[in-house]
Structure 1
Amino acid sequence: MQELHVKSLLPVRLDKYLMEQYPHLGLGRLNKALRENKIKLNGKKQPLSTRVQNGDTIRVYLLDDQLGLTPSDGPEFLSARSGADIIYENSDLMVVNKPAGIPVDGPEADTLLKRVFRRLYEESRYDAAQEPRLCHRLDTGTSGLVLLAKNAEAEHFLTDAIKNRQIRKTYLCVTFGRPVPPAATLHGFLTKDSLHGVVRVLEAPKSGAKEIITAYDTIAVSGRLALLKVDLITGRTHQIRAHLASIGCPILGDSKYGNNAANRELKCKYQALCAWELAFPKKIANPRFSAMAGKTFYVPKPWYYQQILDGTLR
């Protein structure tokens, strides 16, 4: 049995919280555990849609191997690769560059968080009581900038700023197909198919669907491909990938929403999508974080950027 004491500044669905803690579970196994009365929230069986909040207690009556937990003689992150590409760091937060193919978190031996923990450990700066925590996520196949908070106040500041669209996130990507028009702001509604791990984009609102807004601008074209700069106005699961695919321009290398024949032909293992820029607002009310006002962070342009400009990737 595992007992969890919820630490979350904002209410979150029970299923989402448990899958973040135990990614190995999967939604199917999670539903089965609930049916078998193996999940209790504050001592009672509750629907997975119930929102949990700070201070709640969850008990999960499953074996460690079912939860993806394995015994270890030392910190689990020591099995990860050494170091992490930290773009910026202060006493409250970190801006980190995630490589494509590396999960941000989960049971895998090598994740972004474990790389960060290992770097801190190697520099004698690791404190298990003050581990940096993720404030947003990137898909495994997406590269680029991720924000980590080093304390509860920073986590609240960053998650609130992201939720209220105060932090601007700009991406670079390559699409299989040239979008028409070459620049536009797309509006739609997104629904999740949790069973199959995909999302769907609708033109009209529907119960349970969330509004999505994605702005793109074509930087260059090369044969069948287009290099885009994308501003993520709303931040939903798989939003850029699904939204561009919905207009017939899926991201190159995307095996879930894209053209797999083209992906194989052009030898793209991961989606050509990079979280290239993060820009903080010019004014920040909280004086503790006022030094972040107006700061903008970039990662180096991904490998496909110059190849599209040169016409060598077509």
Structure 2
Amino acid sequence: MRELHVKCLLPVRLDKYLMEQFPALGVGRLNKALRENKIKLNGKKQPLSTRVQNGDIVRLFLNDDVLEKRALPAAMLVYEDDDILVVNKPAGVEVDGPADDTLLKRVCATLAGRGGPSQAMLCHRLDAGTSGLILLARNAAAEQFLTEAIRQRQIQKRYLCVTFGRPQPPAALLHDYLSKDAERGVVRILSAPAPGAKEILTGYETLAVSGRLALLQVDLITGRTHQIRAHLAHIGCPILGDSKYGNNAANRELHFKYQALCAWELRFPAQIEDARFSRLAGRVFHAEKPWYCRQLLDGTLR
């Protein structure tokens, strides 16, 4: 329980006051705490629109981990310098958005906790259910450099995934077209050009097989929405755990909540002309291989 003795010159709304004291709370958590009778103003439950004033006492019956900003565990920070961050995102965490807990908010909380600038900008994204490496910029110059390098495909992205089904041939470069269905929040893979469809290239190589499953290394050459997930499903080998494009019966049987897809490697170009970022030339960053890779290799996962 936290007890706050209000000290302010002018009355202020209760929700605004609490979010100033505990930025990690957010409106959603505040409303939930109020519904659960965990916020008391002068001993009584009051609407969040109530104005508090000097001398009021607010009691919060919430755990510290709810009140404090969530920072990055050390293992999630793969690389850091004055310009960029490489962070290993766990599956199930949104990269950004209105949620109280996102990767971007964790990064900013970590930087703020050191007492220095807390600014960080996302340079690309991963689906919430996909784990792996994310690049963030710490200033405008780095943001421009990273986003342009990604746009021009100078930074190579390599993934690991487990598919339900063994692809044939075991290695290939898939070349098709992707069309978005914005209303349903899905994409379709087409074998020929069509209005609104964008060209996609996805390379894969089978690293191991186990029963009905295969462990693949995937090179994302073009980076479209849901590209890897939809492209592999299109050839009859959906990613295990993918509820949108996959085999839900297999997902339930094998107890996969999130897709077995990890952005495992980021590879910078061998030469970088901009002297400010030349130290990154040839650098290769890896995420820790997910648990399901080990289980497929030892035959536990079949």
The 4+ residue runs of structure 1 with deviation greater than 6 A are none
CA distance in 1 between partners of 2:124 and 2:152 (Å) = 13
Determine if the alignment matches structure 1 residue 104 to structure 2 residue 95.
yes
Structure 2 unmatched ranges of 5 or more? 1-17, 25-66
Q: How do 1:1-314 and structure 2 match up within 5 A?
A: 72-74=19-21, 76-77=23-24, 80-84=69-73, 85-127=76-118, 131-314=119-302
Q: Structure 2: how far apart are the matches of 1:223 and 1:245?
A: 18
Aligned residues of 1:95 and 1:148 also touching (Cα < 8 A): yes
Tell me, in whole angstroms, the C-alpha distance in 2 between the residues paired with 1:144 and 1:296: 14
What TM-score do you get using the length of structure 1 for normalisation? Answer: 0.75
Residues 136, 75 of structure 1: CA spacing in aligned structure 2 closer, same or farther, 3 A cutoff? farther
Provide Cα deviations, 1:173-200, integer angstroms capped at 9, x if missing partner: 0000000000000001001111111011
Q: Compute the TM-score of the two structures, normalised by the length of structure 2.
A: 0.78
SS in 2 for 1:113: helix
Aligned counterparts of 1:79 and 1:226: Cα–Cα separation in 2: 41
Deviation at 1:118, TM superposition (A): 1.3
Q: Shift of residue 144 of structure 1?
A: 0.3
Q: State the alpha-carbon separation in 2 of the partners of residues 271 and 165 from structure 1.
A: 25
Aligned equivalents of 2:206, 2:103: Cα separation in 1: 30
**1:187-240 Cα distance to aligned partner (Å, 9 max, x none):** 010011111110110000011111000000000000000000000010000000
Q: CA deviation at 1:138?
A: 0.2
Comparing 193-202 and 77-86, the one that deviates more: 77-86
Alpha-carbon distance, 1:73 to partner:
2.0
Deviation at 1:74, TM superposition (A): 4.8
Q: Which moved more, 1:224-233 or 1:79-88?
A: 79-88
Equivalent-residue separation in structure 1 for 2:116 and 2:191 (angstroms): 49
* SS of alignment partner, residue 243 of structure 1: helix
SS of match in other structure, 2:112: helix
The Cα of 1:76 is off from its aligned counterpart by 3.9
Amino acid of the residue matched to residue 278 of structure 2? S
Aligned AA (2:178): L
Change beyond 3 A, Cα 1:151–1:211: same
How big is the alpha-carbon RMSD for the aligned residues of Structure 1 and Structure 2? 1.7
Which 5+ residue runs of structure 1 have no aligned equivalent? 1-70
After superposition, the C-alpha distances for 1:79-99 in whole angstroms (9 at most, x for unaligned) are 552324211111111000100
Alignment length (residue pairs): 243
Cα deviations by residue, 1:235-294 (Å, 9 ceiling, x for unpaired): 000000000000000000000000001000000000000000000000001111000000
CA distance in structure 2 between the partners assigned to 1:222 and 1:246 by the alignment: 21
Q: 1:125 to 1:91 in 2, by over 3 A?
A: same
Give me the whole-angstrom Cα distance separating, in 2, the residues matched to 1:198 and 1:74: 40
1: CA distance, partners of 2:69 / 2:191: 42
Whichever residue aligns with residue 85 of structure 2, its letter is M
Determine the C-alpha separation between the residues in 2 that align with 1:140 and 1:119.
Answer: 20
Distance in 2 of aligned mates of 1:263 and 1:125? 44
Which of the pair has more CA radius of gyration? 2
How much identity, in percent, do the aligned residues show? 66
Structure 1 residue identity aligned to 2:161: C
